Chains A and B, each alone.
Chain A
Amino acid sequence: MNEMENILVVNNLQTTFKTDAGDIRAVDGVSFTVPKGKTIGIVGESGSGKSITSLTILRLLASNGRVNGGEVLFKGKDLLKLPEKAMREIRGNQISMIFQEPMTSLNPVYTVGQQIGETIQIHKKVGKKEAIQQSIEMLKLVGIPSPEKRVKQYPHELSGGMRQRVMIAMALACDPEILIADEPTTALDVTIQAQILELIKDLQNRLGMSVIMITHDLGVVAETCDYVAVMYAGQVVEYSDVRSLFKNPKHPYTLGLLNSLPRHDIEQEKLIPIKGMVPSPHEMPVGCRFAPRCPVATELCHNKMPQLLNTNDSNAEQIRCWMFSDEWDGDSEVTLYGEKRTIKG
């Protein structure tokens, strides 16, 4: 893949949180790339570090969080090294973000227009009147009926779906190059989710931005993303294009996740869950973090952490699993969640 096509490159990101019980490495070596105009999904269960990754990119971590290493290259420049003022000019302008809870993500004491207008005023250096005018245009763009009326309303006067539309209007007001959507539809009902996802996709096509879609919902990933990074316990375990991820999942965790998912569209006999649970952030395994739950983990897996490496098939696909390395010390044929696999090794 040509470097120039990638608008954002995240390399070996490390984020730590100080807690009373010691430091937590919430993000530990996350790497992925965001091609221009494409949607990349970051999928994982709670505690996988997917939201922290997005907050680290925009440097919006809580005060007890710290970036310990890695780089976030936005059009070639490392965001982690920018002075705060330059970073502020990027936030909401070139990279903007929407959040999971539309109910609480808008300031209750300001009108919709004031809140969208604020972004416009900061970044476009226009007056208040012009900002409100542009806010109305944005509300129109995100499909809010009678925007002239809505612009004067307070968040509590809007439904959850409407509020998420307002959040999107605010995020897109300055025509960003990247939109980070952190679980944008998780708090919404499924018919409203469909509206919002369709809106994001439609706006992406019209405005040509890249989207980082952070979600736990594999259905949302399949529908909206071009590339996917699967995260587990603070690390990316698999990165590939969306089709190969669903058609030919490679990492045992990805496979396990797909097998535990109850589907509404097909009849399944029995779910095959992943045994055990996510390790505590205070007691991360020394080897592969998935090893304690993995059905085929070997000596090697338990003792040495695998790296995120390109697979032989394609260089756009990366896996963090010993099975795909020459060092693999297990059987050459394994059964994973009811599926037989031959390991090349």
Chain B
Amino acid sequence: MAKKELLKVEGLKQYFPIKGGFLGRTVNHVKALDGISFTVYEGETVSIVGESGCGKSTTGRAILRLEEPTEGSVTFQGTDLTKISTREMRKFRKDLQIIFQDPYASINPRQTVASLLNEAMHIQNVLPANERRARIEELLETVGLRPYQADRYPHEFSGGQRQRIGIARALSVDPKLIICDEAVSALDVSIQAQVLNLLEELQDEYGLTYLFISHDLGVVRHISDRIIVMYLGKIVEIADKTSLFENPQHPYTKALLSAIPVPDPDAVKNRIVLKGDVPSPIDPPAGCRFHTRCPFATDKCRTEEPLLRTTSAMKGEHEAACHYIEEIAAGTMIEK
């Protein structure tokens, strides 16, 4: 089966200016995203993982132009979203929806669920007004709520239910791609599992594509087809799910995976505990951005930026950005 490109991100940069000085000039930039490229194919789930400040949420927001990206292109079904006018962009918002961590924050508390969904459909002109009520009730059933709950207010729902409302709102305009920005992170495990299952069912039913942004690698392994690992505004590794979890190549990915506590007291642990904190994205380290915390870093790492590449030991479209993939795999690198 040939894969069809849905979204292609190329060289995306997002610099946020830091104002300062006497006249409030721009004195520096937070380099939240510093040139990332990836492709999302139709019907798949691509996850972006990383720790706070790695730029994963910024990526989602830049794709939707919630913040105008500094540089690079975002091609959605052949159209570069960064080049079109805000007016034209509005039409694309129908195809590109986003679900946030806290749906409550993005919902007007004085609006009933029905009017919220109705508004979303009205803006995108999805259905004639007289057919919308039926559609709203259908949507609520789809996301596991009851049709009679349509006339309730957001505060009458629990966290998990609000997330279902968020999903219903996204679905109401028949989107092609849904960006889930930490969409299940705030939920308790038992509720999180319900919502994850729902997302999977909806994907099968409507052929949705997900760009799933999360810091939880358990969730990511469960839901993704492919995974992008980010560190300080750069992609360090990109691979299909199995390769990433079974055969990680980048030292950061390895450390990240080994750092997650395993819910099994008998699990064999080879934990790599990274030293120190993530450096500031204002003045990211030169060369490889991970070199300040990498146990293998050499002078080359400190000066020369590694590019995403693949080796014979990596299957499929697996790529990692490290100078010493082969050496580390062979065990010839000296660990500090």
User: Which of B52, B256, B264 makes the CB contact (< 8 A) with A265?
Assistant: B264
A246 touches B263 (CB 8 A): yes
Interface pair A261/B261, CB less than 8 Å apart = no
Q: Is the CB of A277 within 8 A of B191?
A: yes
Contact of B261 among A189, A217, A277 (CB under 8 A): A217
Bitwise, B200-240 to A at CB < 8 A (1) or not (0) is: 00000000000000011111111100000000000000000
Q: Which listed residue (A162, A190, A265) contacts B259, Cβ 8 A?
A: A190
Q: How far is the CA of A267 from the CA of B243 in the complex (A)?
A: 12
- In the complex, the answer to whether A190 meets B188 with C-beta atoms within 8 Å is no
> In the complex where A265-B262, A271-B197, A277-B160 touch, is A45 in contact with B189 (Cβ < 8 A)?
yes
Q: Kindly list chain B residues whose C-beta atoms are within 8 Å of the C-beta of A216.
A: 188-189
Q: Are B219 and A262 in contact (CB under 8 A)?
A: yes
Interface string of A269-300 (1 = CB under 8 A from B): 01111110110000000000000000000000
Complex-state Cα separation, A222 to B51, whole angstroms: 22
Q: A243-B265, A243-B266 are in contact. Are A271 and B259 (CB under 8 A)?
A: no
Contacts of A270 in B (CB 8 A): 197
Q: Which residue of B lies closest to A261 (CB)?
A: B189
Task: Please tell me if the beta carbons of B221 and A264 are within 8 angstroms of each other in the complex.
Answer: yes
In chain A between 158 and 194, which residues have their CB closer than 8 angstroms to a CB of chain B? 159, 161-162, 189-194
- Whether B218 and A263, one on each chain, are in contact in the complex, defined by CB atoms closer than 8 angstroms, is yes
The answer to the question of A23 belonging to the interface, with a C-beta cut-off of 8 Å to chain B, is: no
Residues of A within 8 A of B191 (CB): 273, 277
**B262:A189 contact, CB within 8 angstroms:** no
A195–B218 touching, CB < 8 Å: no
Q: Knowing A194-B259, A194-B273 are in contact, say whether A246-B218 is a contact too (CB < 8 A).
A: no
Number of interface residues of B (CB under 8 A): 44
Segment of A69-77, A128-136, A252-260, A319-327 engaged in the interface with chain B: A252-260
B70 cross-chain contacts in A, Cβ below 8 A: none
Decide yes or no: A273 and B190 within 8 Å by CB, A194-B259, A265-B267 being known contacts: yes
Query: Is B30 in contact with chain A by the CB < 8 A criterion?
Result: no
* Nearest CB in chain A: distance from B61 CB, A: 20
Residue pair A260, B264 in contact (C-beta under 8 Å)? no
Are B193 and A277 closer than 8 Å at their CB atoms? no
In whole Å, how far is A231's beta carbon from the nearest beta carbon of chain B? 12
Task: Tell me whether A218 is interfacial, beta carbon within 8 Å.
Answer: yes
| Complex CA–CA separation, A12 to B67 (angstroms) | 53
Q: Are A257 and B190 in contact (CB under 8 A)?
A: yes
24 A-B residue pairings within 8 Å (CB atoms): A189-B51, A190-B217, A190-B256, A195-B273, A198-B271, A216-B188, A218-B189, A219-B262, A221-B263, A222-B261, A222-B263, A223-B261, A246-B263, A256-B190, A258-B263, A260-B190, A260-B192, A261-B189, A263-B221, A270-B197, A271-B222, A273-B190, A277-B161, A278-B188
- Told that A46-B188, A198-B271, A198-B273 touch, could you supply 11 new A-B pairs with CB distance under 8 A? A194-B259, A197-B261, A218-B189, A223-B261, A223-B262, A246-B265, A261-B193, A262-B222, A273-B191, A277-B158, A277-B160
Chain A residues at the B interface, C-beta cutoff of 8 Å: 45-46, 159, 161-162, 189-195, 197-198, 216-224, 242-243, 246-247, 256-265, 267-268, 270-275, 277-278
